[in-house]
Structure 1
Amino acid sequence: MEIGVVIPAAGVGKRMNSITPKQFLELFGKPILIHTLEVFDEHPFITEINVVTNQENVKQVEKLIRKYNLKKVKQVVRGGKERQDSVYAGVVATQTEWVMVHDAVRAFVTAAEISALIRAVNDQQLAATLAVPIKDTIKRVNHAKIVVETLEREQLWSIQTPQLFHRKILLDAHQYAEEQNLVGTDDAMLVENLSIPVKVVEGAYTNLKITTPEDILLGETILAKRMKGSEQTT
């Protein structure tokens, strides 16, 4: 199956408290965005990659792609006002039958996790997402911050990316959302609006999204451990 990847990288990272967008912050001397792109560039089942970013960052992203010799990046697409708009622009630019959407700053996904997601889709299962079971007890509260109910933890999952969809399904979902003025917190939510089942594939807690300065420290720890493990196997 031909699989294209859309990497929305137009965020400004307000919670990072940095003037540099978080996708360009470095881990061990390499931008977070590049750590992310390399995983997909090296995966044998990925055909093409399209990066979506702000107009002012297009040249910077193109320069990084050339510097790190990323062979599968097809183009850098100008993003929209919101993440949803940017993803749609990236999906339109992608011509493969299947499209995977992945956060630019979720740099620690592994090839094995990507492969597991790919195995989950077929002619009957048109959408899937990585996720992990919730560890904490989750409570729903009212406007006064009073507990209304305690939710069944066994049924709750924390959704991650990548998410994988048949391209036509994803395009239909985005177009329907635009027509109905719907905003989704992720692309799976948009597909759910079409009553299409989304398969959950268990991922890993290390597949974190770098959002705050504390996440940088966690990310460095994850990478250091992986680098050490790689050295020990060579």
Structure 2
Amino acid sequence: MTAIPAIATVIPAAGVGKRMKADKPKQYLPLCGLTVLEQTLHRLKQVPALQQFYLALSPDDPYFPDLPLAADRQIQRVDGGSERANSVLNALIQIDAQQYPWVLVHDAARPVVRVSDIELLIQCCLQNEQGGILATPVRDTMKLATAENTVKQTVDRTTLWHAYTPQLFPTVLLREALQRALAQGVAITDEASAMEWAGWPVQLVQGHSDNIKITQAEDLALATFYLEHSV
């Protein structure tokens, strides 16, 4: 069995401050007695391999200091950047790659990720010695649209997957990939896209589709349902 090293975790939250008809960023909205961010950290901290957490927040974020998490020594706050990739890179620069040779990146707005899925991702990546992401195969019929939002063609879905987080990669390789991609102006939508651009393989590890990302107000109700039913 592959020995599991200590893993650092990066949680980009600076880029999830869009309002959902609320008076604060969505990671601070209430969810089952805690904030969305607290629920996310609660899931992540149930995985023993995840030892240190780097939370990328907007420098002027006024909400985090009021949370009990602010006093947690396992959590280090770092300044977020203008985009997700910049936030993740700012955190990676703070991580000692010798102490934490692998880094896991997870969205602050995915509070119902299953602990078993995180552990499966870690196991698969370490066994295969390559990075990977949680994902699920596309089940719906997929359409390619024109600029006028009419259907151009039906896309073969058999090789299409929905990409989720967490995403797990060797610390040094991810840091170098992000640095190079950003320096060259490459559009980076997630960590996997940076690694793909750099020429590294990224494996798909099938998780569960209830690993939703909160982007709209109705997503809070769905997340509440999942949390109350202990998925």
Q: Which moved more, 1:185-194 or 1:142-151?
A: 142-151
Q: CA deviation at 1:98?
A: 0.4
Counterparts of 1:136-151 in structure 2, within 5 Å, are 136-151=140-155
1:60 aligns with 2:63: yes
Q: CA deviation at 1:60?
A: 3.2
Which of the numbers 52, 55, 58 marks the counterpart of 1:51?
55
Deviation per CA, 1:9-28: give whole Å up to 9, x if none.
11354362223100000112
Q: CA deviation at 1:39?
A: 1.5
For 2:87, the equivalent position in structure 1 comes to 86
Q: CA deviation at 1:148?
A: 2.3
The DSSP-based 3-state class of the residue aligned with 2:63 is helix
1:216 aligns with 2:217: no
Partners of 2:65 and 2:136 in 1: CA distance:
33
Structure 1 contact 84–183 (Cα < 8 Å) conserved: no
The DSSP-based 3-state class of the residue aligned with 2:67 is helix
Percent identity between the aligned chains?
35
Which of the numbers 182, 191, 206 marks the counterpart of 2:195?
191
Partners of 1:36 and 1:190 in 2: CA distance:
24
1:34 aligns with 2:38: yes
Which of the numbers 179, 182, 186 marks the counterpart of 2:186?
182
Note the aligned Cα RMSD (angstroms).
1.8
2:87 aligned partner, one-letter code: S
Deviation per CA, 1:55-82: give whole Å up to 9, x if none.
122x632442447x74522x10111111
Partners of 2:16 and 2:120 in 1: CA distance:
31
For 1:206, the equivalent position in structure 2 comes to 210
1:7 aligns with 2:11: yes
In terms of fraction of residues, the more helix-rich structure is 1
Structure 1 contact 3–45 (Cα < 8 Å) conserved: yes
The DSSP-based 3-state class of the residue aligned with 1:44 is coil
Equivalent residue pairs, number: 224
Could you tell me the TM-score, scaled by structure 1's length?
Answer: 0.89
The DSSP-based 3-state class of the residue aligned with 1:55 is coil
Structure 1 contact 100–162 (Cα < 8 Å) conserved: yes
1:60 aligned partner, one-letter code: Y
Partners of 2:68 and 2:132 in 1: CA distance:
28
Q: CA deviation at 1:143?
A: 1.4
Structure 1 contact 36–107 (Cα < 8 Å) conserved: yes
1:9–1:211 Cα change, 3 Å? same
1:224–1:207 Cα change, 3 Å? same
Structure 1 contact 127–164 (Cα < 8 Å) conserved: yes
For 1:232, the equivalent position in structure 2 comes to none
Partners of 1:71 and 1:157 in 2: CA distance:
37
2:63 aligned partner, one-letter code: Q
Partners of 2:65 and 2:45 in 1: CA distance:
15
Partners of 2:19 and 2:171 in 1: CA distance:
32
Gap regions ≥5 residues in structure 1: 230-234
1:21–1:134 Cα change, 3 Å? same
The DSSP-based 3-state class of the residue aligned with 2:78 is strand
Partners of 1:62 and 1:183 in 2: CA distance:
32
Structure 2 contact 80–87 (Cα < 8 Å) conserved: yes
Could you tell me the TM-score, scaled by structure 2's length?
Answer: 0.90
1:125 aligns with 2:129: yes
Structure 2 contact 15–82 (Cα < 8 Å) conserved: no
1:2–1:194 Cα change, 3 Å? same
